[in-house]
Amino acid sequence: MLHFRTFPVTPTLGKLCSPRPLKSSNCPRFSMVSRENDDQKMKIPHVMTVAGSDSGAGAGIQADLKACAALGVYCSTVITAVTAQNTVGVQGVNILPEDFVAEQMKSVLSDMEVDVVKTGMLPSVGMVKVLLQSIKEYSVQALVVDPVMVATSGDVLAGSSVLPVFRNVLVKGGDLPASMDAIDVFYDGENVYELSSARISTRNTHGTGCTLASSIAAELAKGLPMLSAVKIAKKFVDAALNYGKDMAIGRGRHGPFDHLLKLKVCRSVAPRAFSPSDLFLYAVTDSGMNEKWGRSITEAVKAAIEGGATIVQLREKNLETREFLEAAKECVSICHSKGVPILINDRVDVALASDADGVHVGQSDMPVSLVRSLLGPEKIIGISCKTPEQAHEAWVNGADYIGSGGVFPTNTKANNRTIGLDGLKEVCLASKLPVVAIGGIGASNAQSVMEVDAPNLEGVAVVSALFNAECVSSATKQLHANLKQAVRTRS
Ligand X SMILES: Cc1nc(C(=O)O)sc1CCOP(=O)(O)O
| Residue 410 site contact among ligand LCLJCK34, Mg ion, ligand X, none (CB < 5 to 8 Å, cut-off depends on kind) | ligand X
Pairwise CA distance, residues 293 & 15, whole Å:
77
Give the active site residue among 384, 404, 431, 473: 384
Residues 309-368 that bind Mg ion (CB under 5 A): 346, 362, 365
Respond yes or no: is residue 384 known to be catalytic.
yes
Where does this chain touch ligand LCLJCK34 (CB under 6 A) — which range of 142-150, 220-228, 231-239, 355-363? 355-363
With contact defined as beta carbons under 8 Å apart, do 325 and 297 qualify? no
- Quick check: 438 binds ligand LCLJCK34 (CB under 6 A)? yes
What string of H, E and C letters represents the secondary structure of 266-296? HHHHCCCCCCHHHHCEEEECCHHHHHHCCCC
Strands (DSSP E) along 413-479, which ranges? 435-438, 457-462
Question: Which residue from 80, 63, 76, 48 is spatially nearest to 217, judged by alpha carbons?
Answer: 48
- Quick check: 413 binds ligand X (CB under 6 A)? yes
How many residues of this chain interact with ligand LCLJCK34, rule: CB under 6 A? 17
With contact defined as beta carbons under 8 Å apart, do 143 and 116 qualify? yes
Pairwise CA distance, residues 396 & 237, whole Å:
36
Residues 451-480 that bind ligand X (CB under 6 A): 462-465
- Quick check: 406 binds ligand X (CB under 6 A)? yes
* Other C-beta atoms lying within 10 Å of the C-beta of residue 365: 17
- Quick check: 412 binds ligand X (CB under 6 A)? yes
Three-state SS for 89?
Answer: coil
Return the amino acid letter for 411: N
Residue partners of 229: CB distance under 8 A and separation at least 6: 216, 219, 220
- Quick check: 98 binds Mg ion (CB under 5 A)? no
Residue 293: CB minimum distance to ligand LCLJCK34, A: 20
Residue 401: CB minimum distance to ligand LCLJCK34, A: 8
Residues 76-115 that bind ligand LCLJCK34 (CB under 6 A): none
174 CA to centre of own chain = 26
Residue 339: CB minimum distance to ligand X, A: 24
Residue partners of 114: CB distance under 8 A and separation at least 6: 46, 47, 48, 76, 108, 138, 140
Residue whose CB is less far from Mg ion, 330 or 365: 365
Pairwise CA distance, residues 440 & 452, whole Å:
16
- Quick check: 438 binds ligand X (CB under 6 A)? yes
* Other C-beta atoms lying within 10 Å of the C-beta of residue 443: 19
Q: Which of 205, 287, 345, 476 touches ligand LCLJCK34 (CB under 6 A)?
A: 345
- Quick check: 358 binds ligand LCLJCK34 (CB under 6 A)? no
Residue partners of 392: CB distance under 8 A and separation at least 6: 430, 431
Respond yes or no: is residue 222 known to be catalytic.
no
Give the active site residue among 315, 347, 379, 386: 315
Residues 280-299 that bind ligand X (CB under 6 A): 284
DSSP code of residue 414: T
Residue 324: CB minimum distance to Mg ion, A: 14
Where does this chain touch ligand LCLJCK34 (CB under 6 A) — which range of 118-126, 325-333, 359-367, 452-460? 359-367
Interface residues with ligand LCLJCK34 (CB under 6 A) are: 282, 284, 313, 315, 345-346, 360-362, 365, 382, 384, 403, 413, 436, 438, 461
Interface residues with Mg ion (CB under 5 A) are: 346, 362, 365
